[in-house]
A = this chain, B = another copy of it.
């Protein structure tokens, strides 16, 4: 009858590779049916249970738990007796290269290494990354299960030193043609990638290769980089690197679902690169195909397709837009059409931030007082609250005329946008009433008025005549909303947030890297011909948390 036997090895460090090899080794022993060798976290205990490897109680999250299911009790216990041998066997195999015992020693031996790859378990990873930064190295931090607080602190420290931290939980990068971590082998080329997303980067890089183009640099940031607490710290550094990199002509920016606030910040940086940037921020659609130098993809494959197309187009001299000066800096959009107002919010929310509106897509965008605009404002004047006992603004222009004058009188207004929807049932000649008010507003020289006319050549108002009247008033006239939004993005460039302390481009030329953690990453660097050293890393204090804390306090000059 099948029997199960377990062993707990309390709180110490075990390499994940060692655990995988141990589990596989146990499975080869006589009579063994199944085996698990895992850190005893709640999820891992449940996983064992689900596999019919009922775990014993008493193991904590920092303990190693080994469970063997065998044909009988003897086989199960016999297998447990082999644990030490199996773990040692792995250790002894294939050590040929020189292996420094510490990061310091490795840095001394390979001074040209601008990078340290860190893939030790999460609870040790922050410490190793910090040591690397103190040595002046950029960090590729593969490890996951690193706390958000550690990430904030590491990235703050890196930025202060002009260094880059990719990660934590950064699975992949291609630096100067060399893949770090998980990386597809791809042609070199002129497309640069920034990704808060590992497989996103791999998928786009692979697709670009399939389409015949290539990669200049592919920079991971870690999946949490676009969270509010991190504020796209690494993504902004990476955009700055690709902006300065002469080999990069097109940039692709990918992320898992970002916080809208941070997405706006990173989009502002993307607009200021002066290069075409393809965005695929999952769950945050652009509301169109493009806006200025930003191009919106609906998925990873499409991001690659757009980038390849842009890279093969003759280079457009896309100068970064100059920052706005003076008081007049805001959009005031006065819509009669609700859906057009929504489309404007969708299309501009990433470019004009913060945006206030009575048709919000997120509650944070809701206008406090729809009767008085502040900042960038998009108003649907056909909303229910405005039409009690009043005709719709497509029939009665009074409300819009008054609001147009109100916005024009505000010195902070830079651009006024109006829609004019023609057709049956609408006002018979809207331009006759609106165009004179536009002309009056345009007496202010620092104001622009954009009018978007929606209609057909068959409409009773006469579309051409309407357009002519608005043109004559000095307005810029568009017959589609997208073109109007594009012009608004051009007229209202992002405020000039300073670029971070530059990360040296030298680090991206001929990368040399020190590896701390998974041996397979080292082997892959060797296979790719990169100068590299693998550190024979052991956790401080043998992985004992209490001792580690004491050691950390001793190392820190401030004693904190």
Contacts and interface: CB of A to CB of B under 8 A. Distances in A.
Given A454-B202, A524-B424, A390 B38 contact: yes
B347 A391 contact: no
A17 B391 contact: yes
A289 B283 contact: no
Contacts of A528: 424
B481 A203 contact: yes
A67 to B, nearest CB: 13
A479 B207 CA distance: 9
A23 B257 CA distance: 51
Interface residues of A, number: 113
Contacts of A460: 185, 527
Q: Which of A169, A203, A480 has the most CB of B within 10 A?
A: A203
B456 A209 contact: yes
Contact of A288 (B47, B203, B299): B299
Contacts of A159: none
B389 A19 contact: yes
Nearest to A419: B199
Nearest to A289: B298
B387 A145 contact: yes
A401 to B, nearest CB: 10
B388 A39 contact: yes
Interface string A169-203: 10110000001011111100000000001111011
Contacts of A198: 337-339, 382
A115 interface: no
A387 B41 CA distance: 10
A47 B396 CA distance: 15
13 contacts: A144-B384, A179-B423, A182-B425, A185-B458, A197-B342, A202-B337, A202-B454, A210-B479, A288-B298, A395-B520, A425-B518, A425-B520, A425-B524
Interface of A: 14, 16-17, 19-20, 23, 38-39, 41, 43-44, 46-47, 50-51, 61, 64, 121-122, 144-145, 169, 171-172, 179, 181-186, 197-200, 202-203, 206-207, 209-210, 223, 254, 256-257, 282-283, 285-289, 296, 298-302, 335-340, 342-343, 346-347, 359, 361, 370-372, 382, 384-392, 394-396, 398-399, 402, 406, 419, 421-426, 454-456, 458-460, 479-482, 518, 520-521, 524, 527-528
7 tightest Cβ-Cβ pairs between the two chains A and B: A199-B337, A39-B389, A200-B339, A185-B458, A184-B423, A197-B339, A285-B285
